[in-house]
Structure 1
Amino acid sequence: MLPNGYFEQGELRYTRCFTRDASERVARDEALKQRDILIMQAPVGAALLLGESLRFELANAAYCEMVGRPDVIGKTFIEVFPQLQGTPAETMLLKVMRTGEPHFLDAFPFTVQTPGGPEERFFQCTFQPMRSPAGAVDGVIAIALDVTQQVRVHNTLLVAASERERLLDDLREASRAKDEFLAMLGHELRNPLSPIVMALQLMRMRGDTGTAREQGIIQRQVEHLVRLVDDLLDISRITRGKIQLKLAACEVQPLLAKAVEQASVLLEQRNHELAIRVQPGLRCVCDPIRIAQVVANLLTNAARYTEPGGRIELSCEARDDDRFAIRVRDNGRGIPPEMLPRIFELFYQGPRGIDRAEGGLGIGLALVRSLVALHGGTVEARSEGVGRGSEFVVCLPLSDPAAERPATAAPDAAPPEEAAAVCRILLVDDNVDAAHTTAQLLRAHGHEVAVRHDPLSALEAVQAVRPDVALLDIGLPVMDGYELGARIRAICGPDCHLIAVTGYGQDADKARAREAGFDRHLVKPVAPEEVLAAIAGAARR
C-alpha cells in the first residue's frame, strides 16, 4: 500500500492509496526461506549452486565437512574443486542446468583434505534442478551422501569373491590332478599285482603244495592291496559324484555272509571271536556289492582296533520305521569322545601306535558313510570311551516289493557244464611278467596264444595269427591300447573279440573302452577265472 497525499498551505486536502497484492512474492520468499532452511538443516550434505557458473549460494555443515572445504560460499564449483573440471560431476551439473532433468552419480571418488592428509572418499550425489518463477532453470541443488564405507566393504567383498573363485579354481585343478594321480596310482599298483595273481594260479594248477603256506600269505596280501586301491578310487568317484549304484532286490542275509567272507582273513589272523545274529527274511533294494563292501569295511575296522582274541558281534534286525539296522560291535579300544564327531571324515585317523598295527589309509569309514548315504541310509558311531569298545549302526530302508527288480546274471558267465572252445588269442602287454603268466594260464587251458609286448609288432602279427580274441593292455608305448584295438578291428572286423586288460579301472576308462569298440573291460589284477570266463564268452559268440 502506497500513500499519496495532496496539501494546500500545509494542510492535507485529500489523499489517495494504491494497493498491490504481494501474496505471491511473500509466498515465494517464504518458500525460498523454507528451502534454505531445509538445505542447511538436512542430515546429509546439501548445497545450492546458482547460475551458469554454478556459484555456491548455500552449503550446509555436513556438505562442507564431507568435501573438506568450509569456505565454498560465493565461489564457483570449479574454483572450489578445480580437480573436478571435465569429470562426470561437472558434466552432470551442467547437464542439469541445460536440460532441467535430475541426474544421479553413484560412488563418485573424491580426494578430501583431512587433518591427517589427503583421503580418498566416495560420494553418492543427486543433482536436482532449481527453477525460477518463470520456470527457467537457474540453479542446482546438490545432495551428497558419503558411501565410502559401503564402497570399501563392497570392494573387500569383490576381492574376497575373486580370491574365493581363484581358490576354487585351484581346488578344482588340485582335484583334477588328484584324480589323475589316483588313476595312475591304480594303474601302476595293479600292473605288478596281475602277474602275481596269475603266478599263484599257475603254482596251484601244477600242484605245488610245498609252498602252500607262502602262497596263502601272498594271496592275502595281494587281496589287501587290491582293496586299498579300490577304496582310493571309490572315494575319488564318490567325491566327484561319478559313482553309480547297481540296484537289485536282495536278501540281507547273503549280503552279510559275503561281507564276513571279505573280512574273514583279518578276523582269522587276529583270532577274533565273531558272533553273528541276523533276523531271517529281511529284504532290501540295494547295490549288493556296495552294501557288502560297507559291512566288510566295518568288520575290518573293528578287527583292526580290537586286540587279538577279542569279540566282534554282527547283528541285523528290522526296526519299526520300515528300515533295518546292521550293527557291528566290538570290545576293543573304543573311541575317545573328541573323535566321534570326526570319525567319518576322509583321511581322518585317530592316534596310532608306532608300529601302525591298525593299518588303513583313513578312507574306509568315509567310504562307508558315502555309500550308505547313496542308499538313502544313515550310519552312526557309538562308544562309551577309551577301552570300552565301539559300535557302528547302519540303517537302511527295507525293500518296497513294488520297487523290487531281479538282479541280472553277470554277462559272459560260462555255464559249468559247457566246455570252452579253443581260441586263437593275441595277447599284448608291455609288462613281460604279466604277459608271460597270463599266456601260460591260457595255454594250460588249451588256447593258442601269441604274445607281443608293443603295438607295432602286434599289428604285424595280426595277419598271421588272425585272432579270435585280442587281450590288450591299454597303457602301451607309442600307441595306446584304444588305437591298437581300433586298428585290429579294422583288419579283422567283428570276428575278433576285443578285451581290454588294464590297470585303468575308473568309469570313464570303461566308457572310453566301449567307445573304442572293446567288447569287455577287465581291471588288473584280473582273477584267472575271470579271464577264462571272458574268453569262454567270446568263444560262445
Structure 2
Amino acid sequence: MNPDQPLSAGVVASGVRQHDDATAAELYDFVENAVEGLHRVGPDGTILWANRAELQMLGYGWEDYVGRHIADFHEDPATIGYILTTLLAGGALYDQPARLRCKDGSIKHVLIHSNGHFVDGQLRYTRCFTRDASERHERDQALAQRDAMLMGAPVAAALLMGPELRFRLVNNRYRDLIDTSDMIGQTFDEAFPHLGGGGVAAAIARVYASGASYQEDELPVTRLDAQGQTVEHFFKFSLEPLMDLDGRPEGVIVVAVDVTEHVRSRLAIEQAAREREQLLVDLGAASQAKDEFLAMLGHELRNPLSPIVTALQLMRMRKDSSYGREGEIIQRQVDHLVRLVDDLLDVSRVTRGKIELKFERVELTQVTDRALEMASLLIEQRRHHLEVDVEPGLVWDGDPARLVQVVSNLLTNAARYTEPGGWIWLRVRQDGADAVEISVRDTGIGLAPEMRDQVFELFFQGKRSIDRAEGGLGIGLALVRNIVELHGGSVQARSEGRGLGSEFVVRLPLHGLAKMAVPAAVAAAPAMDSAPQRVLVVDDNADGADTLAHLLKAHGHTVEVYYDPVTALAAIERFRPDVALLDIGLPVLDGYQLAARIRALPAGRSCRLIALTGYGQAADRARSQASGFAAHLVKPLNGAEAIRVVAGMASSD
C-alpha cells in the first residue's frame, strides 16, 4: 500500500470504531477498579450499576446490590428524600453525610458526591461517588464529645483554636466567671482589653508554641465591680495544649477557677498567724518582764525587812520593855511579810525554770511536823480544830524542804479559807506500791466547779470578803502544783460546791521506797519501774537537766547529763545511750540537728530520741516525729510523764 494514498471511507470508519472500543474499555476498567466507590442510580432510586470498590466497602455482591432501591441500604429515610429531591431538581451534592447499612448489619458512615445526567430536561440517572468516612466520623464524634464535656464541665472552660488562638467554645461557667459579653471568634486580648496585657495572652501563646502545659495557682486579675471600682480577684488558671493527629498544635484549652475567697481566707489566716506570733512574742516579753520584776521585788523587799527582823531580835534579847504586845504584833506581821517575799522569790524561780530540787531520803512524819509548825500560828489564831493522821514509818525520796512548803501552803490555804472554829484534817498514807498520798481537807468556803483547776493558776484568788480576812497573794497553790509536778506527781482540788469545804490531794511517786522497816542507811535498793536504760540528757538549763537526771536515776536508770550538744556528741560512742532526751532549743546545734548527728553515729543508730521543748502544738509534734523523735515532752516537764515515757522506750524495743 502506498502510504501517501488516502484511506478509503471504510478503512477510516473501521479505525474509529476500534479507537472508540479501546477508549470505552479503558474507561470501564478505570471506573470499575477505582479505589473510590462509584454507583449509578435511576430517577426512581434504583441502583443501576456499582463498581467493585462500592460493593467491597459495603460487603455486597453484584446481585445483592444492583437492581435494588437505595432505600434498602440507607439508614436514614430523611437523607434519601433530601438526596433524591436535590438531584431531581438538578442540584449537586458535595460531602453529603449518610449512613449505609452493610451486608453484615453494621452501619457505615460515608460521604456522597452526586449529580444528575439529564436528557431533554429529564433525569436519566445520577452519578454517585461514595467515600468511607468512618475515621472522620469517629474524629468528629470525639471532638463533639470533647466539646460537650467542656461545655458541661463543673469548672469554667474555654477552647481557643488556630494560629491566632481565637475563642471557638466557651461554657456557661466561664461566661459567668469572666462576666463579659460573647467572645466567640475573638482573641484573648480582644475579649479582655481591660486586663491590659496581664500576661495571660502571652502564656496562651507559649503553650500553643511549646506544647507544654501551664498552671498558675493564684493568678491576680483586676476587675471592675458594679460601681466601677477596681477589685482584685484570684484565679487558678490552667492551660493545656490541644494537638492534632500529627502532633501539631491546633489550639489551647483554658480552665479557670475563682479562688478569690480561698486566697483572701488564707491571707487573713496568715495575717492572723503573724499577729498571733507577734502577740506570743509580746506576751513572752511581758512574762519575762513580770518574772524579772517579781525577782527584783522579792530581793528589794528583803533589804528593808532584814534590819527590821534584826531590830526585833535585839529588842527581845535586851528584854526591852517597849517590845511587849506591840512587838509581838510587829513580829507576826514581819514573819508574814517574810513568807510573802519567799513566795514571790519562789514563784519567780519556778516561772523562769530556776528552781532546784535537792533530793534525799526522808521520813514523812518529819515533813508534816515541820509543815504543821509553820502553819500552826495561823491555825491557832483562827481557832481551828486540827486532826492529823500520818502513816508511821513512811519514807519518801525527794526534796524535803520543798515538800514541807507544799504541805504548809495547803494547811495555810485551808486555814485562810475556813471560818474561825472550823475543822482541818491532814492525812498522809501510802497509795499502792509506788505512791504516797497527802490530803488536806477543811470545812471552809468550798469551790465552785469552774474554780477547781483555776485555783492552781498564778495569782488566782477566789471571791474575797470585803475585809480580805483570808490574805495572801494567790501564789501558794501555784507553787504547790509546780513543786509537785517537778517531783513527778499531781495535785487535785475537790469540793462539793460553795460552803461545803474543800480537799486538796497530792499524789507523789515513792520512787520504789517502801515503809521504813530497817534504818535508812541499810534500806533496800529501789525496785525497778522498768528495765534499766542508759539515758542521755542534753539541756542547757542545768537545773532542769540535773533534776530530770535525779528522777531517772531514782528509777534505776544510768544517766549522763550534758549542757551543750558538742560535748554530748563526743560522749555517744563511749556511753552508747539507749534513750536520749534532747532539748530542742540548744545553742550551736538545735535539737533537730543534734538528733541527726546522733543518728549518723554507729553507737547512736539504735538510740530512741525524746524531744524536750516548750512548744506543744500539733505542728511542733509533727516536726519532731518527722525528725526521728519517738516522743515529744513539753516543758515544764511533768516528772511522772517523763518517767513513763522513758519506761515506754524500754518496753517498745
CA gap 1:150/1:327 in 2 versus in 1, 3 angstroms:
same
Q: Which residue of 1 aligns with 2:298?
A: 186
Matches for 1:113-152 after TM superposition, within 5 Å: 113=224, 115=226, 119-152=231-264
Matches for 1:5-16 after TM superposition, within 5 Å: none
Q: Which residue of 1 aligns with 2:442?
A: 330
Which structure has the greater CA radius of gyration? 2
TM-score of the superposed pair, with normalisation by structure 2: 0.57
Structure 2 counterpart of 1:62, from 173, 179, 186: 173
TM-aligned CA deviation for residue 338 of structure 1? 4.8
Cα separation, 2, equivalents of 1:8 and 1:193:
134
Cα separation, 1, equivalents of 2:147 and 2:474:
75
Q: Which amino acid aligns with 1:362?
A: G
Cα separation, 1, equivalents of 2:464 and 2:282:
32
TM-score of the superposed pair, with normalisation by structure 1: 0.68
Q: Which residue of 1 aligns with 2:599?
A: none
1:346 matched to 2:458? The reply is: yes
Cα separation, 2, equivalents of 1:189 and 1:303:
26
Q: Which residue of 2 aligns with 1:155?
A: 267
Q: Which residue of 2 aligns with 1:110?
A: 221
SS of equivalent residue, structure 1 residue 164: helix
Q: Which moved more, 1:54-63 or 1:107-116?
A: 107-116
Q: Which moved more, 1:64-73 or 1:112-121?
A: 112-121
Q: Which consecutive residues of structure 2, in runs of 5 or more, have no partner in the other structure?
A: 1-35, 41-48, 50-116, 522-653
CA gap 1:30/1:81 in 2 versus in 1, 3 angstroms:
same
Cα separation, 1, equivalents of 2:123 and 2:197:
67
1:289 matched to 2:391? The reply is: no
Structure 2 counterpart of 1:365, from 452, 470, 477: 477
Matches for 1:504-523 after TM superposition, within 5 Å: none
Cα separation, 1, equivalents of 2:199 and 2:359:
66
Query: Does structure 2 conserve the Cα–Cα contact (< 8 Å) formed by 1:68 and 1:112?
Result: no
CA gap 1:9/1:380 in 2 versus in 1, 3 angstroms:
closer
Q: Which residue of 2 aligns with 1:251?
A: 363
1:38 matched to 2:160? The reply is: no
Q: Which moved more, 1:178-187 or 1:264-273?
A: 264-273
TM-aligned CA deviation for residue 32 of structure 1? 1.6
CA gap 1:12/1:42 in 2 versus in 1, 3 angstroms:
closer
Matches for 1:269-280 after TM superposition, within 5 Å: 269-280=381-392
Q: Which residue of 2 aligns with 1:394?
A: 506
Give deviations 1:39-58, integer Å, cap 9, x for gaps. 11111100011234321111
Q: Which moved more, 1:45-54 or 1:252-261?
A: 45-54
Q: Which moved more, 1:335-344 or 1:321-330?
A: 335-344
Q: Which amino acid aligns with 1:193?
A: L
CA gap 1:12/1:213 in 2 versus in 1, 3 angstroms:
closer
Query: Does structure 2 conserve the Cα–Cα contact (< 8 Å) formed by 1:89 and 1:105?
Result: no
TM-aligned CA deviation for residue 36 of structure 1? 1.1
Query: Does structure 2 conserve the Cα–Cα contact (< 8 Å) formed by 1:369 and 1:378?
Result: yes
CA gap 1:8/1:211 in 2 versus in 1, 3 angstroms:
closer
Q: Which residue of 1 aligns with 2:598?
A: none
Q: Which amino acid aligns with 1:73?
A: I
Cα separation, 1, equivalents of 2:216 and 2:317:
88
SS of equivalent residue, structure 1 residue 343: helix
Q: Which residue of 2 aligns with 1:228?
A: 340
TM-aligned CA deviation for residue 185 of structure 1? 1.1
Matches for 1:297-312 after TM superposition, within 5 Å: 297-312=409-424
Give deviations 1:102-142, integer Å, cap 9, x for gaps. 01111112244555766433211110001123321121100
* Larger RCO: 1 or 2 (CA < 8 Å, sep 6+): 1
Cα separation, 2, equivalents of 1:18 and 1:373:
98
Cα separation, 2, equivalents of 1:215 and 1:9:
149
Cα separation, 2, equivalents of 1:400 and 1:321:
8
Query: Does structure 2 conserve the Cα–Cα contact (< 8 Å) formed by 1:105 and 1:124?
Result: yes
Cα separation, 2, equivalents of 1:18 and 1:331:
113
Q: Which amino acid aligns with 1:40?
A: M
TM-aligned CA deviation for residue 346 of structure 1? 2.4
Cα separation, 1, equivalents of 2:336 and 2:439:
24
1:355 matched to 2:467? The reply is: yes
Q: Which moved more, 1:85-94 or 1:165-174?
A: 85-94
Give deviations 1:247-289, integer Å, cap 9, x for gaps. 2222111011111111122122223332222110111122111
Query: Does structure 1 conserve the Cα–Cα contact (< 8 Å) formed by 2:295 and 2:348?
Result: no
CA gap 1:352/1:14 in 2 versus in 1, 3 angstroms:
closer
CA gap 1:200/1:8 in 2 versus in 1, 3 angstroms:
closer
Cα separation, 2, equivalents of 1:344 and 1:393:
13
Give deviations 1:327-368, integer Å, cap 9, x for gaps. 212233333445334332322222212111110111212221
1:202 matched to 2:314? The reply is: yes
Cα separation, 2, equivalents of 1:81 and 1:129:
21
Give deviations 1:57-102, integer Å, cap 9, x for gaps. 1110000100111411111100122243443423321210121100
Matches for 1:420-435 after TM superposition, within 5 Å: none
CA gap 1:130/1:276 in 2 versus in 1, 3 angstroms:
same
TM-aligned CA deviation for residue 209 of structure 1? 6.2
Cα separation, 1, equivalents of 2:473 and 2:284:
23
TM-aligned CA deviation for residue 380 of structure 1? 2.1
TM-aligned CA deviation for residue 389 of structure 1? 2.7
1:74 matched to 2:185? The reply is: yes
Cα separation, 2, equivalents of 1:305 and 1:12:
122
Query: Does structure 2 conserve the Cα–Cα contact (< 8 Å) formed by 1:306 and 1:332?
Result: yes
Cα separation, 2, equivalents of 1:13 and 1:309:
134
Query: Does structure 1 conserve the Cα–Cα contact (< 8 Å) formed by 2:299 and 2:345?
Result: no
Query: Does structure 2 conserve the Cα–Cα contact (< 8 Å) formed by 1:68 and 1:113?
Result: no
Q: Which amino acid aligns with 2:146?
A: R
1:29 matched to 2:148? The reply is: no
CA gap 1:150/1:279 in 2 versus in 1, 3 angstroms:
same
Q: Which amino acid aligns with 2:286?
A: A
Count of residue pairs brought into register by the alignment: 405
SS of equivalent residue, structure 1 residue 243: coil
CA gap 1:381/1:401 in 2 versus in 1, 3 angstroms:
closer
SS of equivalent residue, structure 1 residue 142: strand
Cα separation, 1, equivalents of 2:292 and 2:177:
58
Q: Which residue of 1 aligns with 2:380?
A: 268
CA gap 1:210/1:25 in 2 versus in 1, 3 angstroms:
same
CA gap 1:203/1:24 in 2 versus in 1, 3 angstroms:
same
CA gap 1:212/1:399 in 2 versus in 1, 3 angstroms:
farther
Matches for 1:444-463 after TM superposition, within 5 Å: none
Q: Which moved more, 1:97-106 or 1:259-268?
A: 259-268
Q: Which amino acid aligns with 1:132?
A: D
TM-aligned CA deviation for residue 294 of structure 1? 0.8
TM-aligned CA deviation for residue 17 of structure 1? 7.3
SS of equivalent residue, structure 1 residue 329: strand
Q: Which residue of 2 aligns with 1:170?
A: 282
TM-aligned CA deviation for residue 16 of structure 1? 8.7
Structure 2 counterpart of 1:219, from 315, 322, 331: 331
Give deviations 1:465-491, integer Å, cap 9, x for gaps. xxxxxxxxxxxxxxxxxxxxxxxxxxx
Q: Which residue of 2 aligns with 1:53?
A: 164
Query: Does structure 1 conserve the Cα–Cα contact (< 8 Å) formed by 2:195 and 2:222?
Result: no
